[in-house]
Amino acid sequence: MSTNILTKRISDARAKGRLGLIPFLPAGYPDKARFWAEIDQLDEAGADIIEIGMPFSDPVADGPVVEHASLKCLDAGVNLAWILGELASRKGRYKAGLVLMGYLNPVLQYGLDRFARDASSAGVHGIILADVPFEESGPIRTAFDPQGLVLIPLVGLNTTPVRMDLYAKDGRGFAYFVSVLGTTGVQSGFDTGLPATIRAGLAQAKAAFSIPVALGFGLKHPDQLKALDGLVDAAVFGSALIRHIDAGGDSKGFMQVWK
């Protein structure tokens, strides 16, 4: 079996001696037109994987920054048909791997099989569903597998070794490790050094998974990346990018700082 493209993008970054960079932006943010310009910039500036948020009215795993941005996109009329349609029209344009992140219900209403088909043919490589733990993932993986679409495992500080192994067994693409017991955008508390708990959790994840491990939730500034060297393969930036755009910046500028 050929290496999954998401795995490969991160491995390529590691081979160049740096962490894989995975920016996240809610689809349609800051507005529907500018969003695609931001995605183009992220890709051109060297994002290894781009995560696009599928907005949901009740995002329980997200903190206030991402929730506010997502609800704004919903008000602007963003839905899955728009996201997948626009991606299909841009197919082949991006060097980066593409991942959609969101919650199950909009995907369920779109239709699992139809979603898998349309996402795959629009050039999407992986899906993160924040409210689907291992126990509920069976029917989703059954729908995704025939299309080569990967369900990215999401684990955290309180994931036991036994549960880590459940996710690792079928894990493909990369594993998403949540660095805080909280929601997106929450202070992770490692402005200076990396706390022992996160260090231990990451070591456990690295041991369990044969695919790369990406760290997300709570990254605020580039100095934090140095502390992660050797412990993790990639880093996800969500709230930090939204704040950067809210403050008048663009994605190109954001990537320059982090790269």
List residues with catalytic annotation.
51, 62
Instruction: Out of 8, 41, 44, 71, point to the residue binding other proteins (CB under 8 A).
Output: 71
Contact call for residue 142 and other proteins (CB under 8 A): no
Largest CA distance in the chain: 46
Instruction: Out of 43, 48, 51, 67, point to the residue binding other proteins (CB under 8 A).
Output: 67
| Alpha carbons 244 and 38: distance in angstroms, whole number | 12
Shortest spacing between CB 117 and other proteins, in angstroms? 17
Q: Is the dihedral of CA 25, 31, 32, 34 positive or negative?
A: negative
| Alpha carbons 201 and 145: distance in angstroms, whole number | 29
- Please say whether the beta carbons of 192 and 220 come within 8 A: no
CB-count exposure of residue 134 (10 Å: 0-12, 13-18, 19+): middle
Contact call for residue 175 and other proteins (CB under 8 A): no
Q: Which of 98, 100, 106, 118 is nearest to 74 (CA)?
A: 106
Tell whether omega for the bond before 55 is within 30 degrees of 0, i.e. cis: no
Instruction: Out of 104, 112, 225, 227, point to the residue binding other proteins (CB under 8 A).
Output: 104
Nearer to other proteins, 47 or 171 (CB): 171
Interface characters, 182-201, with other proteins (x: CB under 8 A) = xx--x---------------
Using the contact rule CB under 8 A, the part of the chain among 3-11, 51-59, 88-96, 201-209 near other proteins is 51-59
Contact call for residue 89 and other proteins (CB under 8 A): no
Gyration radius from the chain CA atoms: 17
Instruction: Out of 28, 63, 171, 218, point to the residue binding other proteins (CB under 8 A).
Output: 63
Q: Is 125 helix (H, G, I), strand (E, B) or coil?
A: coil
Contact call for residue 218 and other proteins (CB under 8 A): no
Using the contact rule CB under 8 A, the part of the chain among 3-11, 38-46, 131-139, 246-254 near other proteins is 131-139
Shortest spacing between CB 204 and other proteins, in angstroms? 14
- Please say whether the beta carbons of 225 and 183 come within 8 A: no
Using the contact rule CB under 8 A, the part of the chain among 43-51, 108-116, 188-196, 249-257 near other proteins is 108-116
Instruction: Out of 13, 107, 119, 219, point to the residue binding other proteins (CB under 8 A).
Output: 107
Number of neighbouring beta carbons within 10 Å of residue 136: 11
Tokens of 47: 């994002």
Q: Which residues contact 15 (CB under 8 A, 6 or more apart)?
A: none
Which residues of the chain form contacts with other proteins (CB under 8 A)?
56-61, 63-64, 67-68, 71, 74, 79-81, 103-110, 130-136, 154-160, 163, 167, 178, 180-183, 186
